[in-house]
Structure 1
Amino acid sequence: MNISQFAQAAGVSTDTVRYYEKQGLIGAPRRQANRYRSYTDADVAAVRFVRGAQALGFSLSEIRAILPQVAKGSFGRAEIEQQLQAKMAQIDAHMAQLRTLKKELKATFDALRCAPTQPVSTAQATAPDSGSGAGAAVVRRAFSRRATQG
């Protein structure tokens, strides 16, 4: 099948096909006599695997690392479980970071709600304290200074 047929069968654009080739996610296709790319059903399966793994949160570099084993059929249940557990741990860590960030945003939002409605300037902000929430502290200090000055 040609690149258009392949892209349609795999559910991606022709640009995505070319990108995946450049990134080593699918092998270079055979070339027909007219130099057109020629793809197989195995190539379609590979792209579908890549898209499915992306939908589960795996990066292209993570997918690229396991594709050779998957293509050979040597990527067993234990390896799949290990990859999925590692991805879940990564997501848990990211969620914890996002919860912390949300707390900082809420604290900054609450501080701003109590401040006067004047624009803030970076020139009014002092250097942040070290540690977590430094950016929010800069914004809060700038607004509290305006409240006391104004």
Structure 2
Amino acid sequence: MKTQIKLTQYKVFSLAALVLSFAMIAGLNTANAQSEAAKTSLLSNVVKASDQTTIKGNVRDNTGPLPGASVALKGTEIATYTDKDGVFVFPQDLNPGDILVFSYLGYKTQEIVIKEDTTVLRIVLEEELIDILESVQVNKPYKSKRKGS
């Protein structure tokens, strides 16, 4: 009887060890699959990050730099302005296909599509003719509306 109990206990322990081994192997395979998925995800993020580019450049007209010109990413509120020398560095990395909008009061707005090899932009804005809707009358003498004391 003692032999039979020992043999039964041995079978139970062997079966438990076998189940535990299978569980560990299954767990390792799942961990490996998750690890591979994480590596693939990480690799795709690296590829996406390498597609992004920091854009810098200058904005000018025919006579020189335009300080304070606006540089905005179309469709967003992300923007920057040129410094006193007309130089800008866009505050966000851009992807190919993004559109930067350059504007300055009295000049035509320009849109530039970012390409894969775009890193530096040299933008020359053209003057925009503005129609004056009313004219100032200069043939009338000026009268003060103040009353003398």
**What is the TM-score of this pair, normalised by structure 1?**
0.31
The structure whose residues are more often strand, as a share, is: 2
Q: What is the TM-score of this pair, normalised by structure 2? A: 0.32
Structure with the higher helix share, 1 or 2: 1
Larger radius of gyration: 2
Q: Which has the higher contact order (CA 8 A, sep 6+)?
A: 2
